[in-house]
Structure 1
Amino acid sequence: MTSFFLATIAIAAVALIHLYLIKNEMKRIHAQLHAYNQGLTGKKIDLVFSDRNLEQLAAEINNLMDFVSDAKALRRRTEYELKQSISNISHDLRTPLTSILGYIQLLESDQLSEEEKREYVSIAKIRAKRLQVLLNDFFELSVIESMDYELKREMVDMSALVPDILFGFYDRMNERNREAIIQLPDEKIDLIGNESAIKRVVENLVTNAIHYSDGPIWISMESLDLTVALSISNEAKHLKASDLNILFDRFYTEDRSRSDTGTGLGLFIARSLMVKMNGELTAELLENQLVMKCVWRLDRG
């Protein structure tokens, strides 16, 4: 009887000690959480006393801390990108608008000849068209990034669409003295996508190649078992491997000081549209060649 009584007391004592240690550990957890919430520390919860339930609680709290930390980092990055976007939009819109207003003021002069007036009107029209392109890009960006924006999926004949798109660049390539080396398969290639989006993607990539290359442009398309790949490559002597990480960023241009470089939205819009179509757009630097590759997955179901 005495041994049973002693055993009961021992068990009770162990339980009380265990409860005491858990209570102290809870106080430590509370103090650590308070310091974290006050911004006094970024340290995660650590335990002195080992208990399975406390360990599970600490693990979940630490996971929540990671989530909060990631959310804060995303918010800071989003706020920074928003400020940069506003700054870039203001710069890009102000340049052609200031030019247009300047030529309008010149046209108000009575001392201009008819030839000078026609020249200034022509320049103002070019600047106005430039401004229109900028506004269209900004509007398209806002539409693409909206959460409820979805592309209508349809059967697209790539073997007919791609040559038609490339033919539309014939005059522009001649103006800039560009040579296009095109390799397209003879067989018909169909895929599930969005014709307007595909057209926009290809146009943006070809425009980028024409604008930033002084040499020929290589364009090829091939159909594999499960994918269709379209590659557009051009000479890029001044591009570095580190530039590939930011090539598809919003408003990225090789030279922000040049007014004719574009909004820097072309490649960003192209990649966003490819993602909407469950495809991918990648960039690779092979020696001095920048290779842009679009890949669409074929729907065999």
Structure 2
Amino acid sequence: MVILLLVVIGILLAIIVFQYLASRTRSGNIQQLQGKLKQVMEDQTGESLLLFTNDRELQSLLVEINQLLDYARKRAAAYEKTEMATKKMISNVSHDLRTPLTVILGYIETIHLDPLMSSQEREELLAKVYKKTLELLELIHKFFDLSKLESGDEQMPIERVHINEVCRQNILAFYEILTNKGFDVRVAIPDEAIFVLGNEAALNRMLNNLLSNAIQHGGDGKVIGLTLRTEKEFALIEILDHGKGISEQHQDRVFERLYTLEDSRNPTSPSSGLGLAITKRLARAIGGTVTLFSKPHEQTVFSIRLKRIQY
């Protein structure tokens, strides 16, 4: 009996010693992890935590910590990118608003400081002030529209749209201006009715933006085209020009907000860089896409892809 009791006591002591040693080992590992984690956080390195242990619970904890660190790094990178974009946006907004305001102020000062100005000259300057004020108001509206689209406040009810008619109306709105300026206008809209899922107001805005963009930045080629065609379950609208085009390094960025076209197509362009950003967000809001293909000095094509439906 005594021998059995001694054996039990020995086993219990062994268990206690084993647990003590395991506890010390785990405590040491946790302290090591704590030190490494503190160093990684202070130095902001891209390291992951490494620890050689057979403790499965510590292994699981280590995996979770590394996943959390990776998530934190991605969030920090995204925040930094957003902050840089915001700074650039504020700079561009300030520039885009300051320029017309400076011009307007100059016209008004001229009118105010020149009492001998003839009524005809005064009327001409007032007409210029009015025109610049309208440009400024349109720019402010674009900033507001983009803000609503990005925040999700803009309601875009999806409905059946007769896309042939939308295309005809939009190209007709520019047709007289284009022909008077000597453009070769190429239109290919099939007689067969094509219906898509979309929003007519959004589509009108998108086509207006793309046609205006083609005229402003691709007008040197004197060719503007609009093509409507089908591709399986989709309908495609293509706006083309034969102007200077967009170099490959800029093609992925022209849809970014406030990535001005001065950077990519026309250094003298007064573009705010908002039209294409609004177009892309409108396309996304109605379940479509807008893409770009450009071969400089040959052809630039913006394509809108929409879900086709049976009428």
1:297 corresponds to which residue?
A: 307
- Asked if structure 1 preserves the Cα contact closer than 8 Å seen for 2:175 and 2:185, the reply is no
Indicate if the aligned counterparts of 1:21 and 1:49 stay in contact, CA closer than 8 A.
no
Q: How far did residue 249 of structure 1 move?
A: 1.4
> Does 1:235 pair with 2:245?
no
Please list, as runs of the form range in 1=range in 2, the aligned pairs for 1:208-287 lying within 5 A after superposition.
208-213=213-218, 214-215=220-221, 216-237=223-244, 239-255=246-262, 260-286=269-295
CA RMSD of aligned residues (A): 2.6
Aligned partner of 1:245: which letter? Answer: D
Q: What's the CA shift for 1:145?
A: 1.3
The residue correspondences of 1:61-210 to structure 2 (distance < 5 A) are 61-108=65-112, 109-174=114-179, 176-210=181-215
| Deviation larger for 21-30 or 254-263 | 254-263
Deviations 1:158-182 (A, max 9, x none): 0111111111112332454322211
CA contact (8 A) 1:205 1:292 kept: yes
Note closer, same or farther for the CA distance 1:69–1:40 as it changes in structure 2 (3 Å cut).
closer
Q: Kindly provide the CA deviation profile for residues 36-72 of structure 1, in whole angstroms up to 9, marking residues without a partner as x.
A: 3334644221112243332221111111111111111
Identity of aligned residues (%): 28
> Judging changes above 3 Å, is the alpha-carbon distance between structure 1 residues 176 and 123 closer, same or farther for their aligned structure 2 residues?
farther
Q: Distance in 2 between matches of 1:258 and 1:289?
A: 19
Any gaps of 5 or more consecutive residues in structure 2?
A: none
Write the mapping of 1:21-100 to structure 2, written as runs, cut at 5 A. Answer: 21-39=25-43, 41-100=45-104
Please tell me whether the aligned partners of residues 248 and 271 of structure 1 are also in contact (alpha carbons under 8 angstroms).
Answer: yes
Task: Please tell me the residue identity of whatever aligns with 1:294.
Answer: I
SS at match of 1:73: helix
Gaps of 5+ in 1: none
**When the two structures are aligned, how many residues end up with a matched partner?**
300
Moved more, 106-115 or 188-197: 106-115
For the pair shown, the structure with the greater C-alpha radius of gyration is 2
